[in-house]
Structure 1
């Protein structure tokens, strides 16, 4: 994944703060609802930071990351990867300040969502469902359900404040003033869950607003809460701004407000009708329209056709095509889904990653290798297919070294017979010269399969464009 040493070193110091109080019930939410999403290591890091923060009065305020490595019995790479998972899931905010040769970090712990918020979030609950399946999901939901008690046959007899306490004279208020809180301190308060942050540049919100007519959906109905829901639903169900406009209209109440619960229900029903699937999977997403190169003009060269095919295809289609039409394995799909969700890489970029790794690794997807390159591309903010292809070509030597890393080194023969896609051929490197005749044949077959795939998808796209679909 991302090279941690460029961001943090063992000598860098950190201190811990929170956005409010963490309650006892929060631990059950963390262990049962969040841990399946981020894993035991990341949750262990979070729980350790909570414990350390609670004991802050009995030890020094700051520590080095070397201290954290010793306490957790983890290396810095593992801690860094766990930190990224916690940040992505909305449990941690990280602040960094450079001071001379070392960095000073502030880790702000975020409160988890309450169970009712989590199961109605529209994003986290869907990913939890995909992670653990229906049976376990229903069981967890039942664990957090609280039976309601009807009071319809009862009369309210609760006393008010004025019934119990005497009134206070204004003169007493003026004479008795509570001490003020110092400017550099705040009162401890209940934490407000921050939730998951969705990148807003993946959805053209201005296009949506321009299509909203005041008589249909008033723009003042798009509150911050509604806007957040729109981003989440658009990401999860792959809803375009034009389709979202229709869904918003169906969620408009008689008071000209958007009911978020109805909005989620309408979005889910739209997805089920369009795709025929009960729940969405990230691996079925395609490259976002704003990150595509060939939106208006058709591709001309073979490389352009390949880029276009990778843009309009989902990683699921890519894996299916690569295996000759067979359904991809559950392990491969889960790995690709984790990469897309955690590293926030667009679908087209993930297609290039799969293409590159499978050619280099003899059609095998090695999880650690895929994750390491994905982390590098995420740090480089690769957003388009052509950028991904260029970076793969420029960093070919580095990726070759990564391929040989690990507890078991690959043999020299495996390195000499690596396969590379044709768009990575350079004047300084001709990998095909070191391949055996059988391996050359296999590579030609793989490349030919991808060319046919590119040509077919390009022709289908052109036909759809002509027919106005």
Structure 2
């Protein structure tokens, strides 16, 4: 958020100036190329803003952000995060100002770039490649590559404009005032072309890069033309001048010294595919240290102790499966992928991921895991360094406590009594079994059952894919 922008509140107003409707080609690019980058919530925000456009930009016609929250059914931080994704990808320009009616925003929706410009843009294309992977990236490129017509043996017999329509030659020579006025108005009101930030970096030593590539007989003119691409890849992956020279030399032709820029992108993506979090050993060490530090201060009820015990013993896939069965539901292939992606990120221990799943499905009473909510909660817990189930329960308890300065009813805003933590039957049975055995180790029968369920989940996931 810019430093000169105040904290966004639901009472603040906004206006969305009218823009031309998106063409089918725009919609195709938005769905196929931009959606993987911005996510479904930002995509929905753009659609909501488009539905709230007004023919006039007068701020007296403003709507409150509370209306926007009601349409999307999410909280304000979530909307702000989605808005920033639209701004970052060039789909939205946001302007803040103050007047007699208070603070307000003008949200100017931008058209998505044509597919050819999107793939030509280094920032967007690199981001898309990192997001969807090499295979899907190639599929999308082929999808938007126009099919070349073979017209070698054909003759163009199309009619000319002047052959069909009669136009006064005097008006062509001396353009009427009405046409000149409209042209001027359109040129003035035309939105500036979307531009990505300049990546000129004084810290990157281009002279060193050039010297190495010259020794390897790489075409330096092409290197100069690919300056933006090289700078982007260097920043995204933290590649030094020497490493970049080695990469360019690998894809350069031995005879011409030329290199394929798309091949350079793919090589870098394969070579520098970065882990997004800690290793399993690092997470385990942090979780153990946090658990030891919290042992003497954390007081849990019997039910909470059973839940914590089961969360520590169970893999996230098994935990999710058991919880869905308790609710008489089933695990979808999409939920499998969400849990798999979260585990692979390495930002939270498995036991804490189980608590995230429990919180969303049990406390929030969701029928299925939602990607935006799952990532929001996981991101929030990571930022607050929640590394154990005990810390997760303490954090949730702290957030549920009413503020002392405001009197609140014992019922929530939706009229329902606040939910009491209840441990599912499957967790109670599992925790009781572990207590009777005098150990937190999973029995051989439980391990066999876990293996069978995981195999079944993998099979279902492959079928779903």
TM-score, normalization by structure 2: 0.50
Matched, 1:263 2:261: yes
The secondary structure found in structure 2 opposite 1:122 is: helix
Instruction: Mark the CA change 1:232 to 1:163 in structure 2 (over 3 Å): closer, same or farther.
Output: farther
Match of 1:122 among 122, 125, 140: 125
Matched, 1:11 2:11: yes
Instruction: Mark the CA change 1:148 to 1:212 in structure 2 (over 3 Å): closer, same or farther.
Output: same
8 A Cα contact 1:10 1:76, kept in partner? yes
Of stretches 178-187 and 111-120 in structure 1, the one that deviates more from structure 2 is: 178-187
Match of 1:34 in 2: 34
8 A Cα contact 1:221 1:257, kept in partner? no
8 A Cα contact 2:222 2:258, kept in partner? no
Query: Deviation per CA, 1:138-184, whole angstroms, max 9, x where unpaired?
Result: 77667656544311211344566787777946995278574435988
What's the Cα RMSD here? 5.6
In the TM superposition, 1:13-412 aligns within 5 A as 13-17=13-17, 22-53=22-53, 61-99=61-99, 102-118=102-118, 122-130=125-133, 147-158=147-158, 168=169, 172-173=173-174, 178-180=179-181, 186=187, 200=199, 206-208=204-206, 211-212=209-210, 222=224, 226-245=226-245, 247=247, 262-269=260-267, 272=270, 275=271, 281-283=273-275, 315-316=277-278, 318-323=279-284, 334-335=341-342, 354=347, 366=356, 368-372=376-380, 404-405=398-399
Instruction: Mark the CA change 1:151 to 1:109 in structure 2 (over 3 Å): closer, same or farther.
Output: same
Measured in 2, the distance between the counterparts of 1:400 and 1:178 equals 69
Measured in 1, the distance between the counterparts of 2:210 and 2:419 equals 58
Instruction: Mark the CA change 1:185 to 1:144 in structure 2 (over 3 Å): closer, same or farther.
Output: closer
Instruction: Mark the CA change 1:83 to 1:173 in structure 2 (over 3 Å): closer, same or farther.
Output: same
Query: Deviation per CA, 1:304-338, whole angstroms, max 9, x where unpaired?
Result: xxxxxxxxxxx25x3354348xx999757734888
Instruction: Mark the CA change 1:14 to 1:188 in structure 2 (over 3 Å): closer, same or farther.
Output: same
8 A Cα contact 1:45 1:72, kept in partner? yes
Query: Deviation per CA, 1:227-250, whole angstroms, max 9, x where unpaired?
Result: 442344335555323333455578
8 A Cα contact 1:21 1:190, kept in partner? no
Match of 2:371 in 1: none
Measured in 2, the distance between the counterparts of 1:37 and 1:270 equals 19
8 A Cα contact 1:21 1:188, kept in partner? no
8 A Cα contact 2:247 2:267, kept in partner? no
The structure with the larger Rg is: 2
More contact order relative to length (CA 8 Å, sep ≥ 6) = 1
Query: Deviation per CA, 1:252-273, whole angstroms, max 9, x where unpaired?
Result: 89xx9987xx22312423554x
Instruction: Mark the CA change 1:252 to 1:269 in structure 2 (over 3 Å): closer, same or farther.
Output: closer
Match of 2:290 in 1: none
Any stretches of 5+ residues in structure 1 without a counterpart?
A: 285-314, 339-350, 377-388, 412-437, 439-469
Any stretches of 5+ residues in structure 2 without a counterpart?
A: 286-314, 318-336, 357-374, 401-417, 423-438, 440-465
8 A Cα contact 1:118 1:125, kept in partner? no
8 A Cα contact 1:14 1:62, kept in partner? yes
Match of 1:302 in 2: none
8 A Cα contact 1:283 1:333, kept in partner? no
The secondary structure found in structure 1 opposite 2:125 is: coil
Instruction: Mark the CA change 1:55 to 1:141 in structure 2 (over 3 Å): closer, same or farther.
Output: farther
Instruction: Mark the CA change 1:362 to 1:220 in structure 2 (over 3 Å): closer, same or farther.
Output: closer
The secondary structure found in structure 2 opposite 1:104 is: strand
Measured in 1, the distance between the counterparts of 2:18 and 2:383 equals 27
Instruction: Mark the CA change 1:182 to 1:358 in structure 2 (over 3 Å): closer, same or farther.
Output: same
Instruction: Mark the CA change 1:271 to 1:10 in structure 2 (over 3 Å): closer, same or farther.
Output: closer
Query: Deviation per CA, 1:339-365, whole angstroms, max 9, x where unpaired?
Result: xxxxxxxxxxxx9xx5xx769x87978
Q: CA deviation at 1:191?
A: 8.6
Instruction: Mark the CA change 1:69 to 1:166 in structure 2 (over 3 Å): closer, same or farther.
Output: closer
Instruction: Mark the CA change 1:333 to 1:7 in structure 2 (over 3 Å): closer, same or farther.
Output: farther
Instruction: Mark the CA change 1:116 to 1:374 in structure 2 (over 3 Å): closer, same or farther.
Output: farther
Count of matched residue positions in the alignment of Structure 1 and Structure 2: 324
Measured in 2, the distance between the counterparts of 1:43 and 1:60 equals 27
The secondary structure found in structure 2 opposite 1:123 is: helix
Measured in 1, the distance between the counterparts of 2:352 and 2:179 equals 73
8 A Cα contact 2:97 2:104, kept in partner? yes
